[in-house]
Chains A and B, each alone.
Chain A
Amino acid sequence: DPKIIQKPKYLVAVTGSEKILICEQYLGHNAMYWYRQSAKKPLEFMFSYSYQKLMDNQTASSRFQPQSSKKNHLDLQITALKPDDSATYFCASSQDGQPNTEVFFGKGTRLTVV
């Protein structure tokens, strides 16, 4: 059974629209993350949260807003979508935010902006 659930699996959006990527983890972890992989680029760290508080934000654009309504949820709201936002977005979690703590990943949401 998948322990990190991302919804939807695939998403097509129109330029300028807004979408929310859903992530729930059932591992009892206290830290959650978002990563993104665009075509022909490395997986790129976006955000980290620990106990529902933002720890690190490496995303320059304010169009990307994480939302943590519960400890095991970290959704990602993306506004004013652009074609360059097309990527696979991975949610991840770890027991805590300490270095060396194993990070577990979801299967990803593939977003295409047309």
Chain B
Amino acid sequence: GDSVTQTEGPVTVSESESLIINCTYSATSIAYPNLFWYVRYPGEGLQLLLKVITAGQKGSSRGFEATYNKETTSFHLQKASVQESDSAVYYCALGGSAGNKLTFGIGTRVLVRP
């Protein structure tokens, strides 16, 4: 079946440092998977951070970027300079199947120290 593997947390970084969360995927049931990053801030539900539906393209939002790399089956999330408000749990996911089912990674908790 489909699966997503991402960096195990927690990841602790200091404010203004860079952040990278690795994500690799295996899509056996979807010919052209779509890739997503969701974020869950404390006390909130998951919300879409960014998505990319075409291989080779980059998505960006709130200073975060991720590039859909079909060759390495990766979709790493990066931010050049984090802020304390970026403390959250980040989920990599793949979709694109009928029924709009999403397959998630385990989630990476990020703690940003002031």
| A and B from one complex | yes
A binding-site residues for B, Cβ under 8 Å: 2, 4, 31, 33, 35, 37, 40-45, 48, 50, 55-56, 58, 90, 92, 94, 96-108
Interchain CB contact under 8 A, B104 and A99: no
Residues of A within 8 A of B106 (CB): 40-42
17 A-B pairs within 8 Å (CB atoms) are namely: A33-B100, A33-B101, A35-B104, A40-B106, A43-B93, A45-B103, A56-B98, A56-B99, A56-B101, A90-B45, A90-B46, A92-B46, A98-B100, A100-B96, A100-B100, A104-B47, A104-B48
B46 touches A99 (CB 8 A): no
B50-96 contacts to A, CB under 8 A, are 51, 53, 91, 93, 95-96
Q: Report which residue of B99, B100, B101 has the largest number of chain A beta carbons within 10 angstroms of its beta carbon.
A: B100
Per-residue 0/1 for B1-22: is the Cβ within 8 Å of any A Cβ (1 yes, 0 no)? 0001000000000000000000
Inter-subunit contact A42/B99 (CB<8 Å): no
Indicate whether A94 sits within 8 Å of B45 (C-beta atoms), given known contacts A42-B4, A100-B53, A100-B95: no
Q: Which residues in B have some Cβ–Cβ distance to A below 8 Å?
A: 4, 34, 38, 43-48, 51, 53, 91, 93, 95-107
Q: How far is the CB of A43 from chain B (nearest CB, A)?
A: 4
Given the complex, which residues of A lie within 8 Å of B91, measured CB to CB? 43
Q: Are A105 and B101 neighbours in the complex by a CB distance under 8 Å?
A: no
Tell me, in angstroms, the Cα distance from A90 to B40 when the chains sit together: 12
Q: Once bound together, how far apart are the Cα atoms of A33 and B96, in whole Å?
A: 15
B34/A107 in contact, CB under 8 A: no
Asked, given contacts A41-B106, A43-B107, whether A94 binds B100 with beta carbons under 8 Å apart, the answer is yes
B104 contacts which chain A residues (CB < 8 A)?
A: 35, 42-44
* Neighbour of A4 across the interface among B38, B45, B51, B97, CB < 8 A: B45
Q: Which residues of chain B are near A96, meaning CB under 8 Å?
A: 100
Chain B: minimal CB distance from A106 (Å)? 5
Complex Cα distance, B100 from A42, in Å, reads: 17
Are A100 and B107 closer than 8 Å at their CB atoms?
Answer: no
Task: Say which residue of A31, A48, A99 sits within 8 Å of B34 (CB atoms).
Answer: A99
Instruction: Name which residue of chain A comes closest to B53, CB basis.
Output: A100
